A and B are shown apart, each in its own frame.
Chain A
Amino acid sequence: MAGLYAAMSYGLALIYGVLKIINLANAGFLMLGAYVTWWLFTSYHIHPLLAPLLIVPAFFLFGWALERTLVRRVLSAEPIISLLLLFGVWLVLQNLAYVIWTGDTRSIETPFVEATVNAGGLQLAVPRLYVFAMGALVLIALQLFLTRTYLGRAIRATAQDRDAARLVGVDVDRVMGIAFGIGIALAGFGGSLLSLLFSFTPDFGRALSLKSFCIVVLGGLDSIVGVAFGSLALALAEAFGVRYMPASLQNLISFVVLVVVLIALPRGIVGTVRALRRG
């Protein structure tokens, strides 16, 4: 579960870090990733594990174009304006999915999805292991990209201080477009992974999206490693919480965690740490 939560939250953290906007459309792209995987599988018999090869570049381009055409125009406005814009994007994606794919519940069924392995007496579902591994792999890849490549460093520089990055010669506009594209591609990838574990409808993602916000706030809004820890914390909180309350209320846990964290640390964990550092 933790790997999955992490996979769906990286994009959110990256976009917040670089563009300082909250991608409310994240849920929409998760859902879209799941649907595209399903559609490729049922219409073209492309194996669900290969779908990300198509989804990641396509979503990257889509996200990049979205940043160029719409998001860029509202970056300098009040934060609430960009929130509303991405809320609009979410509405469009969600209802487009209703129109194209109807509200019927979909799921992907392959031998792979039902496979289990026996590990020291424990029956483990293969897709869950796979998703966890992928979540960890993406974390490592992202961390390498952000620390070892010029573009990755440029992204981090822009996240830290946009004006300073511009001063030392980073093409900030280009970096923001690329970062948004990567963020969307990560959401699409997360959605594709989700489709292996759950059945979904166009409304899929709202509860998950809340979890993503929770994770990102827990881990620090712009730290990739923080997201991984946040995911683990939430997955554990849910696993233990479920023993003491009805399963139908499970989604309340992330909400309670979110509210407690937000209220205890109104600026988010990162903001609090920064404020403390500044003394």
Chain B
Amino acid sequence: MGKPVAYAVVAIVALSAVPFVAPRSEYAIEVLFLIFLYGAMATAWNLLGGFAGQVSFGHAAFLGIGAYATTIMIANGVSLWVAVPVSALLAGLYSLVIGIPAFRLRGPYFSIATIGIGEATRLIALNWTSLTGGASGLTLAGAPPLVQQYFAALALLVAAVGLAAWIRSSRFGYALAAVRQDTDAAETLGVATTVTKTQALFLSACILGVAGSVYALHYLFISPDSVFGFSTSISLVIMPIIGGLGTVTGPLIGAVVYTFIREQFAATLANVDLLAFGVLLIAIVVFEPRGILGIADRVRGMRRARPPAGADA
């Protein structure tokens, strides 16, 4: 336990120093900001999708609710300190509204229902014009300075990863793992599976709600197709799988890979990035379902298996 915490502290200190050491490199700060934001979102998805094994294709709904709630409240003069927690809470409440019926479904059925939930939420946002502005979206007037956003996203990421790490080694985390491995067996052993899953979904949705606030304040423009879009839900599924499903650091690694691939292709053709993610997803699922962390494990295993060749082996 001590070692990972030490690494995390070093990483946080190093990342906090970046804006002061290199205040002019706006692009680097922007990319790091995106990695933090996506990393937090992927970690949130992973609480439910990875830890509890309930793959959701509709998680954009919570990001969207957070983003819309924040935008609407700030446009009406509500303080940021009130708007962000309320956004998180609204996303969390929405997750309860959805989760209680949806968790009557198992495994793949749940996943399919979430496609419908995501799509229905987008359609509602699109048609509730008086509140959401419909297809033309909503805009905010002014953004906080990029450095403030940078630290907000970093704080969100640290909170999300910290929560994930704590859950993983807690009784709650073991209950989630039991649900993932065998829901019936978990139920028999006295795990209240539906309550456990709903709690994971609630936490996941709250984090995504805050991520939605950060998103809205960064881009200053939101529309149903951006925050509620299916591609947002897709990215939330892809990142943890690339990195390592159900692990603490996996979603973070996935977010780094995701952001870099996206930035690479952003200048060229649209949709090539999603094509690349599709290929990557297939390759990972077929050859190493544990993602990049699984590959790293294998490499380490091979090294250990080899007879020591030199002094440092």
Contact = CB atoms under 8 A, between A and B. Distances in A.
A210 interface: yes
Contact of B116 (A87, A258, A266): A258
Nearest to B115: A210
B278 A79 contact: no
Contacts of A251: 119, 123
Given A22-B108, A98-B270, A249-B127, A87 B237 contact: yes
Given A91-B274, A98-B271, A262-B113, A84 B123 contact: no
Contacts, number: 117
B281 A96 contact: no
A56 to B, nearest CB: 25
Interface string A47-81: 00000000000000000000000100110011111
B282 A70 contact: yes
Interface string B92-123: 00000000011011111101110111011001
A83 interface: yes
Given A255-B119, A263-B104, A22 B112 contact: yes
Nearest to A266: B104
B269 interface: yes
B80 interface: no
B230 A206 contact: yes
Contacts of A111: none
Query: Which 10 A-B pairs give the minimum distances between C-beta atoms?
Result: A91-B278, A88-B281, A92-B278, A98-B271, A95-B275, A88-B282, A255-B116, A95-B274, A95-B271, A85-B285
A117 interface: no
A263 B103 CA distance: 9
B254 to A, nearest CB: 13
A268 interface: yes
Contacts of B123: 248-249, 251-252
B279 interface: yes
B286 interface: yes
A222 B93 CA distance: 36
Given A84-B237, A87-B57, 7 more contacts: A81-B289, A95-B278, A103-B270, A249-B127, A262-B105, A263-B104, A266-B104
Contacts of B109: 217, 262, 266, 268
Interface in A133-186: none
A255 B105 CA distance: 15
B256 to A, nearest CB: 20
A91 B289 contact: no
B197 to A, nearest CB: 14
A84 B285 contact: yes
Nearest to B278: A91
Nearest to A92: B278
A275 B269 CA distance: 51
A237 interface: no
Contact of B278 (A89, A207, A268): A89
